[in-house]
Structures are given as C-alpha cells and as structure tokens.
Amino acid sequence: MPELPEVEAFARYFAKHALKKRVARVVVRDERVLGVRAETLSRALRGAAFREVRRHGKHLFADAGRQWLHLHFGMSGELTAHEDPKAAPRFARVIFVFSDRTCLAFEDMRLFGVVDLTPSPEQYVEDHSLGPDPLTPRFTPRVFSELARGRRGAVKSLLMSQDVIAGVGNLYADETLYQCGVHPRRSVADLSGADLRVLHRILRGVLRTAVERRIQDRGLPPRWLFDHREEGKRCPQCGGSIQRTAVFGRTTYFCGKHQR
DNA sequence: TTCCATGTTCCGCA
DNA sequence: TTGCGGAACATGGA
C-alpha cells in the first residue's frame, strides 16, 4: 500500500528503530530488490550510523555519511523492526542488523521495491525528474497550476504523474477526485483556476489526514472512498453508485453521481 | 485455475 | 512533444 502517507509512516518508523544506531552488517536475502551490488551496499553501510531520514514522495532516504540509503517500496514493501535478526519474516529481502543486535527488515513480497544508494536525496530527485512533494511548502497552489498548465490528459493522470507531483498513487488519486467531486477522466484543460485551487487544497488535506492516520496505525475515515472501492457499492457521501473503470492503466473507482 | 493487485519502466502509436 | 494503452516485472490471495 505504499503511497506518500504510508512512506511517511515508514520514515517515522525508521527514525524510531534505526536512527543513530551503528550498522553491524547488512543481510541480503534476495538480491532482486537491490539497485547496487550487495557488496557495495554492505561496504557503504557497515560501521556507519544513520544520521537523518528524509522522504520525497514515495521515496525514503537515510543519511549514512558518505552516501544515502534509498528505499522504494514498490507495491508491497514495508519496514519491520525485530529484536533478533533470525526472527525476520519470510519476505524480509534485506535486513539491516545493528550493533545492539536489533534489526530493521525491508520486506517486499512482490519484489517491486528497490534498495540502493544515492549521493543525496536532492541528486536522486533531480536524476529521476521527480516533481515536488505535495506536503512541502514549495508545493503552492501557484506551483500546482503551473504544473497543470498545458496538459491535455485526464486529471487522474496528472495527479499520478511522479514528474508533476511525487507521491500520489492510484488510491490517493481516486480519493482526492472523489472528495473534489471531479470525474477521474475529466480533462485537465477543462479545469478552471478555481478548480485547480480546490484540487490542490483537497489533495493536501487527504494526504495530511492519511499521514496522521497511518502514523497512528489507524484506518482512513469511513466516509472516504477508500473502504468502498467495489463496483456497485453505495457512495457514503451522496448515495450514488460506485463505478469501476480504468484510467492511466489503473483500476479506478469513482461515484457515478457526484463526480463530474 | 484464473484474475487481480497500492508501483515503475519501456515500447509503440496517435 | 505529449500522453496514453499495454506489457512486463514477481508473487500471493480471492
């Protein structure tokens, strides 16, 4: 489930369980999640202590001194801390073992995640043409309007394009449009300046609320679309019928009555 | 057994 | 150039 709010919760979890601890060794159980050679990763981290953790969109970065550890969670990645490395679960692909013998496991059942190294978060963002993180002050309504200007595609595509906004995936794109009452296939060119300002405000509200909930390990509000992602279900806001379609190659749910 | 899944990337086409 | 559809990646669950 890792989109921006989940990754923010992972960042807090990382800070709690891994920051300021010295890395004793790195156990690579499955090299397929690595973006660097196992030996390179080990050499970069062994003996180092993570000094700071940062997040940009769905990407997590931890300062290991000369380099930063970069984690991307793909479809099914998550972090879990354990008292004993031997207790790390089945899908733990990489395990960071600390000198106090506790460990942090990068779990990823479906193997779409990535563990690698980068010179700095800024460099990574630059190299991968990531857009601004929508929860930073830099992401103003004006910046959002400029990013949207000139785009012809569907508004859902805009929200999910990582080079426009970093961190919004399928679920939170649907959620935002649902709360705005905007149809996911509505053309960006068709949105007024006022529409874009509303979209910007609701997007940030959705993400902020989701971050709070995820940090507390709670579910999302019952009146959100989130728990009603099923064709034919009743819309908790207007009683309309939830529809299913595909936009931007992803399964998309929306209310056929109040999203226009 | 078949279909589907919260992500990214690449190719081909309009 | 931009944007989109579709496929591919790997694996488990409904």
* DSSP output for A32-56: GGBSS-HHHHHHHHTT-BB--EEEE
Q: Is A2 a catalytic residue?
A: yes
pTM (2 d.p.): 0.96
- Residue A148 CA and nucleotide B12 C1' are separated, in Å, by 26
- Residue A252 CA and nucleotide B1 C1' are separated, in Å, by 26
- Residue A138 CA and nucleotide B13 C1' are separated, in Å, by 36
Task: For strand C, give the nucleotides within 7 A of a protein CB.
Answer: 2-7, 9-12
List all residues 6 or more positions away from A169 whose beta carbon is below 8 Å from its beta carbon. Answer: A2, A3, A4, A58, A160
At A97, is the secondary structure helix, strand, or coil?
strand
Compute CA distances A33 → A59, A76, A79, A169, A257, whole Å. 14, 12, 14, 20, 42
- Point out the residue nearest to B5 (C-alpha to C1'): A75
Tell me the β-bridge partners of A54: A61
Rounded-to-integer distance, Cα A155 and Cα A148, Å: 9
**pLDDT of A1:** 65
A69 backbone dihedrals φ, ψ, rounded to 5°: -75, 135
**pLDDT of A151:** 85
**pLDDT of A107:** 96
Give the CA count within 13 Å in the CB-facing half-sphere of A96: 28
At A66, is the secondary structure helix, strand, or coil?
coil
- Residues of chain A predicted below pLDDT 50: none
Task: For strand B, give the nucleotides within 7 A of a protein CB.
Answer: 4-9
Two structure tokens written together for A56: 């940009």
pLDDT tens string A201-233: 999 999 999 999 999 989 999 999 999 998 899
List the end-to-end C-alpha distance of chain A, in Å, as a whole number: 27
